[in-house]
Amino acid sequence: MFDFTCCNQTELYQVCRRVGIPVTPSTPKEEMIAYLLGEKDPPNVENIFDSWRNGIMGFLLDHWSVVASQLTCPAKSGDPRACYQCVDAQVISCVVQQSPYDQKLIELRRK
């Protein structure tokens, strides 16, 4: 088992978000370690930006043959949960950049 005590606050936040645990940057280090080790159930709160993350990745995957070579972010992996590695501010930036496709993103974020 990995020893998460050697990780700093930011690293733990990133690992938690990457595996889909809804934490905030202010979540105590001990709590994040407990979530990762399965010692404590994570909060059942969905980040309001998570639906946008799903919409962005849904859009990218639907248009993969066109966009794959242009991506420079975690979405380049093609993993449907790749946007969960990005901070909320980055998600907002991606949504704004995709404004011509707002309606499609709105449809996909509901899935």
pLDDT at 31: 95
pLDDT at 104: 75
19 pLDDT more than 90: no
* Residue range 43-85, pLDDT digits in tens: 776 677 888 888 899 989 999 999 999 999 999 999 998 998 8
Which of 6-15's residues contact partners 24+ apart within 8 Å by CB, and which partners? 12/36, 14/85
For the chain, percent of residues with pLDDT exceeding 90: 44
Tell me how far CA of residue 17 lies from CA of 27, 44, 72, in angstroms.
12, 13, 19
CA distance 63 to 104: 12
pLDDT at 45: 65
111 pLDDT more than 60: no
Q: Which of 99, 110, 105, 98 is nearest to 73 (CA)?
A: 98
All structural domains of the chain with their residue ranges: 4-37, 50-109
